[in-house]
Amino acid sequence: MTPQLKTRLNITPRLIQGNLKSLSQEVRYFIESNAKLCQPARIHICDGSEEENKNILDIMVEQGMIKKLKKYENCWLALTDPRDVARIESKTVIITQEQRDTIPIPKTGTSQLGHWMSEEDFEKAFSVRFPGCMKGRTMYVIPFSMGPIGSPLCKIGIELTDSPYVVASMRIMTRMGTAILEALGNGEFVKCLHSVGCPLPLKKPLVNNWPCNPDLTLIAQIPDRREIISFGSGYGGNSLLGKKCFALRIASRIAKEEGWLAEHMLILGITNPEGEKKYFTAAFPSACGKTNLAMMNPALPGWKIECVGDDIAWMKFDEQGNLRAINPENGFFGVAPGTSVKTNPNAIKTIHKNTIFTNVAETNDGGIYWEGIDEPLAPGVTLTSWKNKKWTPGNGETCAHPNSRFCTPASQCPIIDPAWESPEGVPIEGIIFGGRRPAGVPLVYEALSWQHGVFIGAAMRSEATAAAEHKGKIIMHDPFAMRPFFGYNFGKYLAHWLSMAHRPAAKLPKIFHVNWFRKDKQGKFLWPGYGENSRVLEWMFNRIRGEAGAELTAIGYIPADTALNLKGLEGIDMTELFEISKEFWEKEVTEIKKYFEEQVNADLPYEIEREVLALEQRIKQL
């Protein structure tokens, strides 16, 4: 349990909804002990109903936290305190007895593969933050399921929070309410405690009516106790604890113990013109077109893509050896800027009802706006920026925050896969890794083996983006697109992936790497991307069927001369798009080797070491 501190309960919180007596002993203890510690004025056990949701939204409107967007049906806009706009990696920690359980001990400097905090330091940090932190506020009890209720892959959590924004968002992002408590019974659950850290009466006025406490923000995961404890931030990934905290950091640790995989991956189904269907998962760092790929309208006639999930995949081999995947989420928490009818028409169709927008711009007729929306403003329409100020294009800053979001129900997606809530999951036949690489990396290549594929995931690099607090464009290592989300030591994580090859009867998916973002010497993209990416998926699909031609290169298999279907596409320089330069790859291997040696150090599995050496040898022979 969370550290128990002696606090005097001045007032017993009033139970305004739900029945504590109907809960299991463990759930009840979790609520009561934290109520004693945090001292809320009221306790509200969420039932997930439409009526409750309406009341929560009304409360937020009254508090000035959100406003209704009159242009759309049941859509809302939240503008946060500008100091609370993104995940904060430096304040996101994992607590284990030994540092090496959380991160490999780097050769020099600090680890880039996570932040460890000792149990002692956490106890101190906790005792400074949580006593009395919910005074005057309502503690909401959110029972939620990650994954379809009753799925052999689903896991249950209970989040205690003093933020109505979290309640409304968790209702979209997870299956939430009374049905979860019934499914849980006396079972195990992940304990999630969240506070914005602003007890009432306030010591200083709020910015944008958005409660947060940036000076004391801390997001802690305690895998041994299946606990998540978050303080000071009301923003998405820091406060919707079912998301990255549970679905990746805690779940990856549970997955290691139980023999499955919890990954930062989209899941899509692709059907060829003959009606044959295959499912893929794909891992991309943020701003690499992950949601766009998950919801793509294929440019190839007769092909169909359907979306199972755009962000997280939980995968487990079934008794027949098929790798089955579920999307543990119930909604999309997508980055708004860059989303348009051109880049992602299906996302645009999804978000026009029952959606909470955060930190986007607002039009004076009650609509939404952001950079890259590709819709000219109608005459007379003006904009208010995410900072709640009148905005014009000459302002010198963006109208929407680069990490502004839409939180929208997955069921509204026009191309949601019919099996997206299938309890047993969908069978995965291909795994795609990718990154934003302006130079050197071909459009697509296929791994030589499972071990080589795991190495490709481990060696992923991409231009850094706005989703976290990093600034500027630098090529960063982002292994498996999981760098900020590993729940345990990355070296052990690699060993876990490698161990999948030794599962009896496992049908291992093929592994691919893609790069939609290669540029020519003039800085222009060599590949049109978006719907045209279906041509690359077609090649992968046919590779899995054993049909498409491939050429063996130093880095893996690339499409043979005519294997990539370019029909109807003009001006594609295939030579430049697939060029494998010895000079570039020598530098790349040096960088990867250095990263593994410095960051993973003694925990690097020998199979990965072997893959590095083998690649190095193949590059020498170019």
Query: Could you give the residue numbers annotated as active site?
Result: 288
Contact predicate 141/160, CB 8 Å = yes
CB burial of 150-181 (b: ≥16 within 10 Å; e: otherwise) equals: ebebbbbbbbbbbbbbbbbbbbbbbbbbbebb
Q: Which two tokens stand for residue 356?
A: 């909470």
The answer to whether 230 and 220 have CB atoms below 8 angstroms apart is yes
What are the Cα distances from residue 565, in Å, to 541, 571, 611? 12, 14, 31
Tell how far CA 137 is from the center of its chain: 29
Alpha-carbon distances, residue 136 vs 66, 233, 263, 378, 571 (angstroms): 20, 18, 39, 45, 64
DSSP string covering 459-487? T-EEE--TTSS--S--EEE-GGG-TTT-S
Helix (H, G, I), strand (E, B), or coil: what is residue 342? coil
Cα-to-chain-centroid distance, residue 423: 21
Angle (nearest 5°) at CA 458 between 453 and 461:
110
The CA–CA distances, whole Å, from 328 to 20, 148, 248, 483, 568 equal 27, 7, 10, 20, 38
Q: Determine contact, residues 567/576, Cβ cutoff 8 Å.
A: no
Contacting residues for 370 by C-beta, under 8 A, at least 6 apart: 336, 337, 338, 339, 360, 361, 399, 400, 404
Q: The dihedral of CA 349, 354, 356, 362: what is its sign? A: positive
DSSP string, 404-419: -EEEEEGGG-TTB-TT
Say which DSSP state 207 is in: B
